[in-house]
Amino acid sequence: MKNSLTHCPKCGGKLVVREYECETCGTQIRGVFSIGGQISDEQMELIKLFISVYGNIGEFAKRLGVSRPTARARLRELGKSLGLNMDHTEESSSEVLDALERGEISVEEAIQKLRER
């Protein structure tokens, strides 16, 4: 799928859509609509990378050359840009699981911390 045109090829200004038309019934909707303005080109690259590693946060972080918490923070920002409610509990749970994986806490401590959330 080719990206839609979002910036003027002459001056680089942001393009807007002024009319939508239904291919089936011909209904027309006029106004000023932004084009894909929710995410930046950089964020689209993050999406592509995340998909290419099948959602593996460790591999995602490795390819970005950042820590797992930094990779999660970038995904959290992306989610917010897309209008998602990025629940803080999920972030905290991930941190607990990462600490467990690194051997910083025991399984029992991890279970206790996860139950407290």
Q: What is the pLDDT of residues 58-76, one digit of tens each?
A: 999 999 999 888 888 888 8
What is the per-residue pLDDT for 1?
38
Residue 2 pLDDT grade (very low, low, confident, very high; cuts 50, 70, 90): very low
What CA–CA distance (Å, rounded) separates 110 from 115? 9
Q: Are 53 and 72 in contact (CB under 8 A)?
A: no
Max CA separation in the chain (angstroms) = 63
What is the per-residue pLDDT for 81?
79
